[in-house]
């Protein structure tokens, strides 16, 4: 399965038309790391068979699961709020091999790096998102590693209640994929 294409197909199906265009614009400016391993050392993200999935596979698992249960946050399914949530999932590891994607190993500050890039492009994001939605997107990326996120100054005082629920949800999806507990059925040609 081509997981990169499956992510694009899911995004086209679940994001608003403008949200999809914005995501494709952002993604086109990012390094192409989709086929790289989600763990460069092989220590994390192991599947039951011992293999380490690509970043695209890992992201697809999270996106697929997130899109299935996004309605728990209420509101219209195709909305800018849900665009923010789903885009946080798609973009959470896109800087995992550094700004140019050429680092030999994954970088522990990739969450902060991508969130800072999004914040730097605040004006562009505000053309699509409200202030709150933009904060959901940026925080979802910045804190997807939970208390281990590089923007956290004291991991023992980190509390998800200080953030929008999407932040904890993105972290949980990430941890569930890493622990190999997210499963998905055979998907149709549209990645759904």
pLDDT digits (tens, 9 = 90+) for 106-135: 999 999 999 999 999 999 999 999 999 999
Residue 176: the pLDDT is 93
What is the torsional sign of CA 188, 51, 35, 165?
A: positive
Q: How far apart are CA 150 and CA 84, in angstroms?
A: 21
Q: Identify any residues that bridge with 183 across adjacent strands, giving them in sequence order.
A: none
Residue 122: the pLDDT is 94
Task: Provide the pLDDT confidence category of residue 91 given band limits of 50, 70 and 90.
Answer: very high
Inter-CA distances, 148 with 51, 89, 95, 166, Å: 24, 17, 16, 17
Residue 57: the pLDDT is 94
| Position 190 pLDDT exceeds 80 | no
pLDDT digits (tens, 9 = 90+) for 156-185: 999 999 998 989 999 999 999 999 888 776
| Position 192 pLDDT exceeds 90 | no
Residue 40: the pLDDT is 87
| Position 188 pLDDT exceeds 60 | no
pLDDT digits (tens, 9 = 90+) for 9-60: 999 999 999 999 999 999 999 999 999 999 888 888 888 888 888 999 999 9
Q: Which residues, 6 or more positions from 166, have their beta carbon under 8 angstroms from its beta carbon?
A: 73, 84, 85, 88, 136, 139, 140
Residue 50: the pLDDT is 86
**All structural domains of the chain with their residue ranges:** 3-178
| Position 187 pLDDT exceeds 70 | no
């Amino acid at each position: 399965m081509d997981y990169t294409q499956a992510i694009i197909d899911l995004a086209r199906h679940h994001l608003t038309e403008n949200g999809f265009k914005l995501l494709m614009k952002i993604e086109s400016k990012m390094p192409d790391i989709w086929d790289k391993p989600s763990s460069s050392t092989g220590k994390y993200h192991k599947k039951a068979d011992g293999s380490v999935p690509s970043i695209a596979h890992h992201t697809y698992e999270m996106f697929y699961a997130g899109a299935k249960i996004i309605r728990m946050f209420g509101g219209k399914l195709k909305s800018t709020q849900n665009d923010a949530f789903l885009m946080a999932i798609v973009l959470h590891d896109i800087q995992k091999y550094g700004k140019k994607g050429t680092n030999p190993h994954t970088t522990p500050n990739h969450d902060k790096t991508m969130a800072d890039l999004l914040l730097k492009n605040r004006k562009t994001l505000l053309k699509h998102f409200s202030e709150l939605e933009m904060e959901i997107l940026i925080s979802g990326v910045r804190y997807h590693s939970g208390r281990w996120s590089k923007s956290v100054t004291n991991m023992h005082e980190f509390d998800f209640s200080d953030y929008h629920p999407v932040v904890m949800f993105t972290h949980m999806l990430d941890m569930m994929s890493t622990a190999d507990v997210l499963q998905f059925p055979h998907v149709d040609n549209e990645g759904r």
